[in-house]
Amino acid sequence: MDLDAVRTFVAVAEIGQFQAAADDLAITQQAASKRVARLERELGVQLLARTARGATLTVDGQALLPHARELLRAAERATAAVTPGRRALRIDVVSRRIAPSAILHAFYQQHPDIQLDVVTLLNADAASALAEVGSGTLDATFRSLRASARKVPSGLRSARVIDDRHELLVGPRHPLANAKTVTPAQLTEHPIWMPGMSDSEPIGYYDDLAKTFGLTIDTIGPAFGNETLLAEIADSNRLATFVGEGSRYLWPERYDLRRIPVVDPIPVYPLSVIWRADNPHPVLADFLEYLQVRYEATSATDVWTPDWAR
C-alpha cells in the first residue's frame, strides 16, 4: 500500500477538502486526487464522496480511517527508529484548525531550519496520546488532562501553556450578530450547537462550562464536517457555536459569519503540553521555553476555568 496515498487520504478525511489537504502536504490538488483515486482502485472501494463543498467519508472510508492512521504511525515509528539524533521533532497538535497548531506554526516561523513533524491525533483520547509520548512515538502532545485533574503518568511532565479564549460564532441573522462582545449571562437564552463531539475531554469541559453558567450546549448528533456546520450557522437565525480564539476556519465571504469574544468572565479552554522528562531532543527544550514565555505574556486574570484546571 502506497504510504503517500494513505497519508493523503487521511489528510483529506480530516480536513474535508482536497485543496486544503493538498496545501498541508505541499502538493497540488490534482496530485492529491490522483493519490486517493489510486488507493481506491487498489482497495476496490470508494473512500471519499466528492461534493461541491469538499469531500466526506463513505462507509468504507470510515472503516479504513483508523487503520490508515495506525499504518502511518507505524511507518513513522520505523523511520524514527533508524535516525537517532537526526529525526524531526514530533508534536501532536490534535487538529490543524485549533490553537496548538497555530502556536507551533508561529514557533516554526521563528526557527525555519528545524526539522518538524506535525501530527494530528484527532480522535485519540488523552490516555492514548500520553501513551504515545511515554513510548517515544511523540515528543509532545496538547491535552486538557481533565480526567486526571492535570496529573500525568510517572516519567512524563506537563505544563499549562494555552488558555484558548472562547468566541461565539454566529451568522448575520442571529440576534447577537451585531454584538461587539457577549457575556456568559447573555448566552443563557441562546443554545450553543457543537455536534459530533466524541472525545471525553472536551465533552466534559463543555459540561462544566454549561453547568457553571446555565448554558445549553448541545454536543449530541452526527458530525457532517466543519464546512456543513459553518453553512448551517450562516443560514440560521438561532444556531451558534463556540470556537477558540486561536482556531482557524475558512468560509465563503457570502456567509458573513461573525466571531464575537465572550467576556466577563472570559471562559478559556485550558491546554497543557505533555512531554517525557528524559526526552533529549535538542529542539524540544526550545519549544517548551517558547510556550512558557508566550503563556506568561498572554495570560489574563479575568478568565474562567473549571476547578480541575486551577
Q: In angstroms, what CA-CA distances link 237 with 119, 167, 168, 242, 277?
A: 37, 18, 14, 16, 50
> Which ranges of the chain does DSSP label H, i.e. alpha helix?
3-15, 18-25, 29-43, 59-81, 99-110, 126-135, 200-213, 226-235, 284-298
Tell me how far apart the alpha carbons of residues 285 and 253 are, in angstroms, rounded to a whole number. 41
Read off the pLDDT of residues 34-70 as tens digits, 9 standing for 90 and up: 999 999 999 999 999 988 778 999 999 999 999 999 9
The predicted structure's pLDDT at residue 85: 54
Would you place residue 84 in the very low, low, confident or very high pLDDT band (cuts 50, 70, 90)? very low
Tell me how far apart the alpha carbons of residues 148 and 266 are, in angstroms, rounded to a whole number. 24
Instruction: Dig out the grid coordinates for 4 from the structure.
Output: 503517500
pLDDT exceeds cutoff 70 at 204: yes
Mean pLDDT of 238-252: 94
Residues 162 and 304: beta-carbon distance below 8 Å = no
Mean pLDDT of 98-110: 96
Please tell me the pTM assigned to this model: 0.72
Q: Which comes out higher in pLDDT, residue 299 or 92?
A: 92
Domains delineated in the chain: 1-82 (1.10.10.10), 164-268 (3.40.190.10)
